[in-house]
Amino acid sequence: MMNATLEENLSGIANQLRIDSIEATTAAGSGHPTSCCSAADIVAALFFGHMRYDPKNPKYANNDRFILSKGHAAPLLYSAWAEAGLFPREHLKTLRELNSDLEGHPTPRLSFADVATGSLGQGLAVGVGMALCARLDNLDYRTYVLLGDGECAEGSVWEAASLAGVKQLNNLIAIVDCNRLGQSEPTSLGWDTDAYRKRFEAFNWRTEVIDGHDMEEILEVLGAAGLGKQPLAIIAKTVKGQGISFAADKEGWHGKALSKDEAGKAIAELQPKAKSGVAEAIQAPSNLPLPKNEAPASYPAPNYKIGDMVATREAYGSALLRIGEVDQRVVAMDGDTKNSTYADKFFKKFPDRSTECYIAEQNMVGVASGFSTRGKVPFASTFACFFTRAYDQIRMAAISQGNVKLAGSHVGVSIGEDGASQMGLEDIAMMRAVHGTVVLYPSDAVSTEKLVEQMALHKGVCFLRTSRPKTPVIYNNDEAFPIGGAKVRRQAAGDKLTVVTAGVTLFEALKAADALAKDGIGVTVIDAYSIKPLGSDVIRAAAQKTNNLVVTVEDHNPEGGIGDAVAGELSKDGIKVHKIAIRELPHSGKPQELMAKYGIDADGIAKTIKALV
Amino acid sequence: MMNATLEENLSGIANQLRIDSIEATTAAGSGHPTSCCSAADIVAALFFGHMRYDPKNPKYANNDRFILSKGHAAPLLYSAWAEAGLFPREHLKTLRELNSDLEGHPTPRLSFADVATGSLGQGLAVGVGMALCARLDNLDYRTYVLLGDGECAEGSVWEAASLAGVKQLNNLIAIVDCNRLGQSEPTSLGWDTDAYRKRFEAFNWRTEVIDGHDMEEILEVLGAAGLGKQPLAIIAKTVKGQGISFAADKEGWHGKALSKDEAGKAIAELQPKAKSGVAEAIQAPSNLPLPKNEAPASYPAPNYKIGDMVATREAYGSALLRIGEVDQRVVAMDGDTKNSTYADKFFKKFPDRSTECYIAEQNMVGVASGFSTRGKVPFASTFACFFTRAYDQIRMAAISQGNVKLAGSHVGVSIGEDGASQMGLEDIAMMRAVHGTVVLYPSDAVSTEKLVEQMALHKGVCFLRTSRPKTPVIYNNDEAFPIGGAKVRRQAAGDKLTVVTAGVTLFEALKAADALAKDGIGVTVIDAYSIKPLGSDVIRAAAQKTNNLVVTVEDHNPEGGIGDAVAGELSKDGIKVHKIAIRELPHSGKPQELMAKYGIDADGIAKTIKALV
C-alpha cells in the first residue's frame, strides 16, 4: 500500500516535470520537450524515490551525482530541481533567456550541474571519473548517468563503458533512455533494447531492461544499484513525447517547442495525472569524512644543474611526482603512453591516484573532468597529437569550467622517425582556440617543473607542450615562471630583430644568434614559454628595441601557433611578425634532419633572418 | 598434400616477413618489430594465400583493399609488398630514412597505402567507407582491416563496428591481432579473446576466434569471408614478438628495435623456418566495369535573387543537391543532423549515395576518407562544433592526402538559445591548423553555392563554415568565388579603416559602416570568404589605402580565426590588426542579443571602430 502510493506519487511528479518542461520550452520558443517526456519517469524516480542527496546543497561532496548526458533534456533537469525546492518553479519559464542560467543545455553556472553537457556521448566518461574518485576518497556516493539512445552511437560511450567494466565500478549506474527516435530519423537500433543489453554486457556491465514508464520496474532495478561488482546499465524502453498524445513516438518532433495551443492540449492531457510536493523525504547522504582537497603551502624545489640534458617530457614526469608528493589533489591518467610521457613515475609511486585509461583519449579527458568536479587536480598525458582525439571533450571541459591539466608530449618534427601521424603540429592552435585555456611550452627541465606547479595552482584547463629530444637546463632552480610571462634569453643594444620561440627551437634560435653575431647581426631571443596568455609585454618591449621586427620560430604548423599568437596580439602595436614554422607535410627522418629540412634549425633560422635584416 | 604445402609455404613467408621487419627496424634503429611478428602469419595468409589483387598495380580499383590500422607494424606491410615483388627487398633497409617513403608509419606517399595510419583506431572506419563504396560501385573487392588489440579501446572502432553491423557489410573483414601487450602495460582484456568476440557480436558481426599463428585456421576462416550478411571479425590470439624467443610475450619490448646482436640471434632462430618466393600465384581481382569518377565539365548555375533571405546552411544543402545531379563522384554523409545541415536535400534525392552515420562524427569522417580513397568526393556534415569530435580523423585525412569535404553548420553565438555546447567557436582555428586544408566561410547563398563547387573541384581536405540565421543574397548568380580570393564589398576614397569579416558579421559590419558614414567615418568592408588560403592580396591592397589599419570581426573565439589569419599573414607588411571576436564563454540567448552582448553586432563593431579612428 505504502509502495503503491510512492509509485503513484512519483508517476504524478513525472507528469508535473513533463508539464514544466513543456511550459518552459514553449515560453522559450525552442528546446526539446519530447526528449524530456521520455525520461521524466526515470528522473522522477531518481530524484524523489532513490538518490541520496541534500536538495538544498547540490554541491555537497557525498551527494549522489547525477549527470544528464543527454543535455538537450535540460528542462527536465531544471524542473526536477525546482520540484526539489532549490528554486521557485516560476523561474523555469526563464529557460534559454539571456539573463537566466537555465540555459539551453546545462552548464556549471548552475550549482547542480557538475559539468556542461550537450555534446552527446560525454557524460559516461565524466561519470567514470566521479566513480573512481568516490573510491579514492572513500565516499559512498553513487554516480547516475542518464544517456539518450542516440548518443550511444558515440564511441566515447564505449570507451567509458570499457574502463568502467575493467575497473568494476559498481558505484556507477548508466540509464539509457531508449526512445527510438533521433533528431533526423530513428536511431539505428530503434527499440531493440536487447542490442543495448548485449553491448553493455560485452563491456562487462550488469544490465536490466525495463519499461521506462513503469515506476515499479524503475524503482525495483534502482533498488538493486550497487549490488555485485559490475557497473549497472539500465536499458529503459521509453516513448519520445510520452504523455503528449499527438507527439508521442512520432518523427519530426525532435528539438521543437510546442506552440501555445499545442502546449495547452498537452498540459490538459497531463494535468489530471500530475502531482507535486508529494514525494517522500529525499534520503540524506551518509555523513562521511570529506577530503580536504587543498593546495599545499608550497612545493619542494626541483634540483637540476645548468647544462643537464633532460627532455621536457621527462621533466614533466619528475614534476608530477614531485608535486604529487605534497599535493594530495593531484591525480594522474594516461593513454598507454606513460613510459613515453614519463607519467609512469607518478603511476609507480601513487598507483591509487593513477588511472591507466588505455588507448582511449576521449575517455581519458572525460575521466579527468570527472575527477576535476570532485576537487582533484587531474593531469592527463599522451602524445600531443592524440589530444586531437579528445578535442570535443577538451572543449566541453572548458565550458564546464573544469580544472583539467593536459600534458602533450612528442611535439613537432623533432620527434623524428615515427613520422607525421605521431607529430603534434596542431596542438597549440587547438588548445589556444578553447575559451579560457592556458597554453604552456617549456624549453628546459626547470621551466617545465615550475610550469607544472603553475598548472596545479591555476584553476582552469591548462595544456603543457613537451618535447621528445633532450635539451640543456638553462634556468636556475629558483627561477619563477608565472603564467603569462616570457624570458629574454639574449639581448644587446643594437639588435636588429627579436626572435620569439619556445621548446627545442629556442636552442636552435640561440645557435642561430651566435652564428649571426659573427656576421655582425645582433638578435634578441625570447623564450615564450607562456603562449596563452602570451608574455606580450616582454615581447613588445623587446620588439620595440629592434625596430618592431619579430621572427617567430615553432615546431608546429604555421596556423594558430606562436606566430599567429604574437601577430594576433601585437600587430596592432605596429610589430611586424615573420613566421618560421613547418610548411610541408613532414616526412620520417632523424630529428635534426627534419628540423633542417623544414627550416627550423639554426641554419634555417639564420638564413631567414639574414634575408630580413 | 597441396594444402599442407601451401600452409607450410605461407608460414615460411611469415617468417621471412619477420626477418625483414627485424632487419629493417634494426637498420633504422627504431620501430616496432615485435608488433610485426605477432601479425606476420595473418599478413602472409592475406597477401599470399587469400586476397585478390594485382601485385604490380596496387591502385587497381577492384583489388581487395588492405588497411593496416595498427600502423606501427609498417615494416610488416612493407615486407609483404617487397615479397609480392612491388619493389626490391633491399629497399626495406631504408626504413624511416629521410629519402625513403618507407616511413615510420604508412602514408599514401606509397602506392599501396590508401590512407595514412598510425593514430590508432581509425582504420576500421575507413574500411567501412571503402566497403560501402564497393557496393555503390558494384565492385566485388573486399576490404580487410588489421587492428591491434590495444586500439580496440578506441571508441572510434566501435562507431565503425556499429555502422558496419547496421549496414550488414559482409564485404568487410576485421582481424584483431590479439597479442595481449600494449605499449606501457598489458591491454585491459589481455588474451580474453572471448571478450572481443562478444563485443563484435553485440555490434552485429559474425566472429571467429582463432590461433593467429595456425596457418590452417587462418586460411579456413578467411575462406569463409563474405559468407552471410554480416561483417566478419576474426579475433586472432597471437604472441607479440612471435618467433623471437627472448622477446616473445614479454613486456618492455614495444616500439624497440633489436640491437644488431639481438637481431642476429632472432634471425638465426627464424631463418631455418623462413621461405620466400614460394607462394602460389596471387589471385587476380575480377574484371568488372570500373566507375569513371570524373568531374563534370560544368555545374548548372544556382538561381537566387539579390535580397533573398537564405541561411548559408540551407544553401549548402541546395548546392550539394545541385552539384550532385551532375557529379556522380559526390556522395554525402551526416551525423543525424541532416535536417539542420540541410544535407537531407541530397539524402532524399540520392539515397544510394548517402550514408547516415548517426551520432558518431569520428566514424563519419573516417567513412568519408574511405570513399575518398575510391575516387569519390565525400561531403560530410554536422554542426561545426561537433567536428571537434573528429579532429584526429581530420588530421589523419590530411596526412592521407585525402579528398574529404566537411561542412560545419551552426557556428558561433549567432545560433542563439542552444548555448555554448552547440556553438562552433574553435572550428576555424582547428581547420586552419591542419596541413594543406582549405577553409571557406561564405556569407550569402550564392557564395555558398559557388564555394561548394570549388570544394568539389579542389583536391584536398576542405571545410565550409555555415551559419544558422538567414542572411540576404548579395551576389549575382554568375559571380566567381575562387579559393584564395576575397571581395571588397564597400570602399571609398578616404576610408579610415578596413574591416575584414565573413558570415553573419559581414552584414553587421556593413550596417556599422552605414552608421559610421553618417558620422563621417568611411570604412572599407571586405568579405573574406576564403580564410585559408587567405585573400591576402585583396586585403593588403585595401588596408594600404586605409593607413594599414584593419579590424577583423568574427563569430569565433579570438585565437586562430580570421583575426589571427590576417595578422599572421599581413603584420609583416606593416598592417595593424585589431580583432573583434567572442571573448567570453557564451551564454544562451537570442542570436541578436548574444551578438550584441559579445560585441560583434553593428553597434559593437561601430563602437570599436570609433575608438580606433
Integer CA distances (angstroms), A368 to A171, A181, A334, A451, B422, in order: 18, 31, 10, 19, 22
Query: What pLDDT, on the 0 to 100 scale, is given for residue A281?
Result: 85
SS3 call for A589: coil
Evaluate whether B148 touches B69 at the Cβ level (below 8 Å).
yes
Chain A: residue nearest B154 by CA? A360
Evaluate whether B310 touches B444 at the Cβ level (below 8 Å).
yes
Evaluate whether B174 touches B231 at the Cβ level (below 8 Å).
yes
Mean pLDDT, chain B, rounded, equals 97
Q: State the residue for C-alpha cell 590500422.
A: B69
Nearby residues of A90 by Cβ (< 8 Å), 6 or more positions away: none
Nearest one of A485, A477, A489, A578 to A529, comparing CA atoms: A485
Chain B: residue nearest A397 by CA? B421
Integer CA distances (angstroms), B402 to A389, B71, B394, in order: 18, 17, 9
Active site residues of B: 361
Q: Which chain B residues are closer than 8 Å to A105 by Cβ? A: 418-422, 588
User: Of all residues in chain B, what percent carry a pLDDT higher than 90?
Assistant: 99
Query: What pLDDT, on the 0 to 100 scale, is given for residue A1?
Result: 43
Banded model confidence at residue B4, pLDDT cuts 50, 70, 90:
low
H or E element, residue A451: helix A445-457
Q: Which chain A residues are closer than 8 Å to B154 by Cβ? A: 155, 159, 359-360, 389
Instruction: Determine, for residues B429 and A28 on separate chains, whether the beta-carbon distance falls below 8 Å.
Output: no
Chain A: residue nearest B198 by CA? A202
Question: Could you tell me how many CB contacts below 8 A there are between chain A and chain B?
Answer: 360
Cα B191 to Cα A181: distance, rounded to the nearest angstrom: 38
> Cis before residue A482, ω within 30 degrees of 0?
no
pLDDT greater than 80 at residue A4 = no
How far does CA B580 lie from the centroid of its chain?
A: 31
Evaluate whether A490 touches A502 at the Cβ level (below 8 Å).
no
- Supply the ipTM of this predicted assembly: 0.98
A419 close to B (CB below 8 A): yes
Q: Which chain B residues are closer than 8 Å to A97 by Cβ? A: 588-589
Banded model confidence at residue B280, pLDDT cuts 50, 70, 90:
confident
Residue B358 half-sphere exposure toward CB, CA atoms < 13 A: 28
Whole-prediction pTM: 0.98
The partner residues of A463 in beta bridges, in order of sequence, read A406, A439
Instruction: Determine, for residues A184 and B337 on separate chains, whether the beta-carbon distance falls below 8 Å.
Output: yes
Rounded to 5 degrees, what angle do the CA atoms B454, B389, A528 make? 90
Q: What is the DSSP letter of B463?
A: E
Instruction: Determine, for residues A419 and B107 on separate chains, whether the beta-carbon distance falls below 8 Å.
Output: yes
Q: Distance, in angstroms, between B354 CA and closest chain A CA?
A: 14
Nearest one of B216, B171, B571 to A563, comparing CA atoms: B571
Query: What pLDDT, on the 0 to 100 scale, is given for residue B279?
Result: 78
B269 close to A (CB below 8 A): no
Cα A11 to Cα A44: distance, rounded to the nearest angstrom: 7
B601 close to A (CB below 8 A): no
Instruction: Determine, for residues B435 and A565 on separate chains, whether the beta-carbon distance falls below 8 Å.
Output: no
Q: Which chain A residues are closer than 8 Å to B557 by Cβ? A: 433-435
B158 close to A (CB below 8 A): yes
Cα A498 to Cα A501: distance, rounded to the nearest angstrom: 10
Helix orientation angle between B193-202 and B155-166, rounded to the nearest 10 degrees = 50
What is the radius of gyration, based on Cα positions, of chain B? 27
Q: Which chain B residues are closer than 8 Å to A435 by Cβ? A: 425, 557, 582, 584-585
A420 close to B (CB below 8 A): yes
Q: Distance, in angstroms, between B365 CA and closest chain A CA?
A: 12
Instruction: Determine, for residues A388 and B386 on separate chains, whether the beta-carbon distance falls below 8 Å.
Output: no
Indicate the residue of B159, B577, B597 with minimum beta-carbon distance to A155.
Answer: B159
Cα A68 to Cα A105: distance, rounded to the nearest angstrom: 10
Instruction: Name the grid cell of B83.
Output: 615479397
Cα A142 to Cα A432: distance, rounded to the nearest angstrom: 35
**Residue A124, Cβ density class (10 Å: 0-12 exposed, 13-18 middle, ≥19 buried):** buried
SS3 call for A519: coil
H or E element, residue A525: strand A523-527
The pLDDT tens digits of the residues spanning A197-245 come to 999 999 999 999 999 999 999 999 999 999 999 999 999 999 999 999 9
Nearest one of B118, B365, B241, B469 to A423, comparing CA atoms: B118
Q: Which chain B residues are closer than 8 Å to A417 by Cβ? A: 28-31, 96, 104
Banded model confidence at residue B192, pLDDT cuts 50, 70, 90:
very high
Rounded to 5 degrees, what angle do the CA atoms B438, B442, B443 make? 160
SS3 call for B25: helix
Instruction: Name the grid cell of B341.
Output: 545541415
Q: What values do phi and psi take at B94, rounded to 5?
A: -90, 10
Nearest one of B177, B169, B285 to B232, comparing CA atoms: B169
Instruction: Determine, for residues B119 and A421 on separate chains, whether the beta-carbon distance falls below 8 Å.
Output: yes
The pLDDT tens digits of the residues spanning B413-444 come to 999 999 999 999 999 999 999 999 999 999 99
Integer CA distances (angstroms), B383 to A115, A238, B280, B387, B421, in order: 21, 27, 51, 7, 11
pLDDT greater than 60 at residue B3 = no
Q: Determine the average pLDDT of the residues in B173-198.
A: 97
Banded model confidence at residue A594, pLDDT cuts 50, 70, 90:
very high
A435 close to B (CB below 8 A): yes
Q: Which chain A residues are closer than 8 Å to B151 by Cβ? A: 359
Nearest one of A144, A128, A125 to A136, comparing CA atoms: A128
Banded model confidence at residue B1, pLDDT cuts 50, 70, 90:
very low
Query: What pLDDT, on the 0 to 100 scale, is given for residue B5?
Result: 86
Q: Distance, in angstroms, between B395 CA and closest chain A CA?
A: 8
H or E element, residue A439: strand A438-440
Cα B104 to Cα B102: distance, rounded to the nearest angstrom: 7
pLDDT greater than 80 at residue A378 = yes
Cα B351 to Cα B132: distance, rounded to the nearest angstrom: 13
Task: Based on the residue annotation, tell me whether A361 is a catalytic residue of this protein.
Answer: yes
Q: Determine the average pLDDT of the residues in A128-144.
A: 98
Largest CA distance in chain B: 96
Q: What values do phi and psi take at A553, rounded to 5?
A: -130, 130
Interface of B with A in 535-594 (CB under 8 A): 557-561, 563-565, 567-568, 570-579, 582, 584-585, 587-590, 593-594
Instruction: Determine, for residues A417 and B356 on separate chains, whether the beta-carbon distance falls below 8 Å.
Output: no
pLDDT greater than 70 at residue A3 = no
